[in-house]
Chain A
Amino acid sequence: METTTSSSHSRRRNVLEHSLHGITETLEHALFAEEISARAGLFQSLDARVKVISTLALLISVSFSRSLWVIASIYLLTLFFAWTSAIPADYLIKRVWLALPFFTGLIVVPALFITPGPALLHLPLGLVITTTGVTTVLFLLLRVSTSVSLTLLLILTTPWNTVLSALSVLRLPDVLILILGMTYRYIYLLLHTANDMFLSRKSRMVGHLSTSENQRVLAAISGALLSKSLNLSSQIYLAMESRGFRGSIITLKPFKMKAKDWLWLAIFLGIAALSIFLGR
């Protein structure tokens, strides 16, 4: 879901500003994510491995389901779990549905009309909405919104590094876990750097740039960012090497399953299995 898309009338003038805005939005958005994972709630108290496995299982069951009711039920359940996990009631809904209409919603509108099937509704311009069209649209919208909500629930209630540790339980190679952790951390550094570069460019500017000038500015910022990335990686490697890194990675796995975790794992896997069965 692209939440940073600008409206067309301001796009030409404010390319720099929109990149700036998008970047700042990302920063705030991430801060919010960490805040929720610190609250006391159902999901926050569960073992991260349970959450990762359950989220995957539920995603797969949503993907497999051929029944609208099953998918809708899982969506409602997700909202319920979000509510018990100290996520503001409207947050999850807004995050998904405010973005959804602009991407998925727009794509599928023609499907209402062109999918062959019995007519449901006759519209003024000679257009006909078919029942199969409506069903298809509902399938897509529900699947997308449920999947995104499930993923959001996992990410909002679990700090990123904890998610990575849990992923390593799923036999993801340790080198990837290390890279993912470092990438996450350095995204923030690079975003700050890019933000500063945009700001400094903007603050030396009066009036508007032509398209090609804008392109050059963005390309120069990208190029500078690339050089910084290469430089930084060099320094980081030297820092790692001087602290004993020789290529092998050891991760801490601080998880311990409590009875509660086993219970909820069974519940989630049960829901997933039931959904696949009912929705086949």
Chain B
Amino acid sequence: MFTQSKRVKLLVIYYGALLLWLSTTAMHIPDGYLSPITCLIMFLIALPFWIIGIRKIREKLNARSVPLIALLSAFSFVIMMFNFPIPGGTSAHAIGATIAAIILGPEPATIVVSIALLIQALFFGDGGITAYGANCFNMAIAVPYIAYAIYSAFSKNQGLTSKRRLVGAFVGGWTGVTVAAFFAGVEFGIQPLLFKTVNGTPLYAPYPLSISIPAMVIPHALIASVAEGILAALVVAYLQRSNISVLEAAEKPAILAEASGMQKLRALWVVLGVLIIASPLGLLAPGTAWGEWGTQELNSRGITSIPIGLQKLSGLWGAPFANYNLPALGNVNLGYIFSAVTGIVIIAIVVWLFSMLLTAGSGVKKKDLG
């Protein structure tokens, strides 16, 4: 027979495995776990945040806000589907609320995540309808506000490229989701306390606070919160590399509308720069491109009778960068790079001249051309 301690051990292992598994899911509460009164109270708590969120969006962004919120909600929804790997071999779903809060500020982030949650609840049965208020409070209100507060504390007076922002994003995300898990644990835990039948049977979630709180907080703190934090930090790092003005958007929302503009071009210039530097790789290819032969190459290929036209014209134009080389530089590779840069500069000047000719006097501003 199993002794008491063995039984406890078994239960602990069972519980541990269960919690580990559970933590890979995000914390959407289905219908039936919370009593209708709890659901109603959570709706009432969430309502002011929704109102503040919508008001804030309209005041900062006006009509532009509609497509922006829609797109970011869709983005949040898609993020919630990614399995994000954690050190140790498991993976979890992040909520994306931290990223939304960092970019938009907490009030609009509430709306963005709430909309994603509504679609998940209605369309995919992920999270209940009556429990929608509670889910929004946990994931769309607690996470963004807490994460944003911590992130902005870390990034106060720091430049946009500061590494402290990454730390702030991680700590903010981790804390936000862990506190949200705590709230969910409380919501579960008070059910058997308040809502039971005459003979004591719990009507909704069956575990008291002493079980529900650790059961929610520990796996989230170890896994899901870590996923959210790491993802937030890495996305901030990515934005610092590729689209840094977006990080300012919380204070200057108009930036969001133009976030695509010049920044995208900058990426293109970077790519171009890389290609230029890598151009000497072309020197590695032996021989000359097919068909681009001069008289000498034709001879070496065994063609002794060269067409008259070719002979006459072959010496006509003495190119300044013959063979893409500038002997004065001494190094073939440098000559290659130099030719590439020069070529691009010349092309750019020509294109610029053309665009000036095209837009001059037409009243079209360059900004509107995107």
Contacts and interface: CB of A to CB of B under 8 A. Distances in A.
Given A108-B206, A125-B7, A117 B200 contact: yes
A63 interface: yes
Contact of B115 (A125, A127, A179): A179
A223 B242 contact: yes
A33 B124 CA distance: 10
A247 B65 CA distance: 9
A219 B75 contact: no
Interface string A153-190: 01100001001000000000101101110111011011
Given A117-B200, A126-B2, A63 B125 contact: no
A216 B286 CA distance: 38
B119 interface: yes
Interface string A113-131: 0111100000001110000
Contacts of B74: 183, 186-187, 189-190, 229
Contacts of A147: 30-32, 128-130
Interface in A230-251: 230-237, 240-241, 245-247
Contacts of B231: 215, 218-219, 222
A60 interface: yes
B317 interface: no
Contact of A231 (B2, B32, B230, B264): B264
B144 to A, nearest CB: 15
Interface in B1-39: 1-2, 4, 7, 10-11, 14-15, 18, 21-22, 24-26, 30-33, 35-36, 39
Given A63-B31, A211-B86, A215-B84, A182 B66 contact: yes
Interface in B270-309: none
Tell me whether chain A's interface is mostly helix, strand or loop, or mixed. helix
Interface residues of B, number: 94
A236 B71 contact: yes
Contacts of B64: 237
B30 A148 contact: yes
Contacts of B203: 66, 136, 139
Interface residues of A, number: 102
Nearest to A216: B234
Contacts of B331: none
Interface stretch (B153-161, B255-263, B335-343, B354-362): B255-263
B314 interface: no
B93 interface: yes
A19 interface: yes
A211 B90 CA distance: 9
A135 B201 contact: yes
Interface of A: 1-2, 4-6, 8, 11-12, 15, 18-19, 22-23, 26, 29-30, 33, 56, 59-60, 62-64, 66, 95, 103-104, 106-108, 110-111, 114-117, 125-127, 132-133, 135-137, 139-140, 142-144, 146-148, 151-152, 154-155, 160, 163, 173, 175-176, 178-180, 182-184, 186-187, 189-191, 194, 211-212, 214-216, 218-227, 229-237, 240-241, 245-247
Interface of B: 1-2, 4, 7, 10-11, 14-15, 18, 21-22, 24-26, 30-33, 35-36, 39, 54, 58, 62-64, 66-75, 77-79, 81-91, 93, 96, 99, 103, 115-116, 118-119, 121-126, 128-130, 197, 199-207, 211, 230-231, 234-235, 237-239, 242-243, 246, 256-260, 264
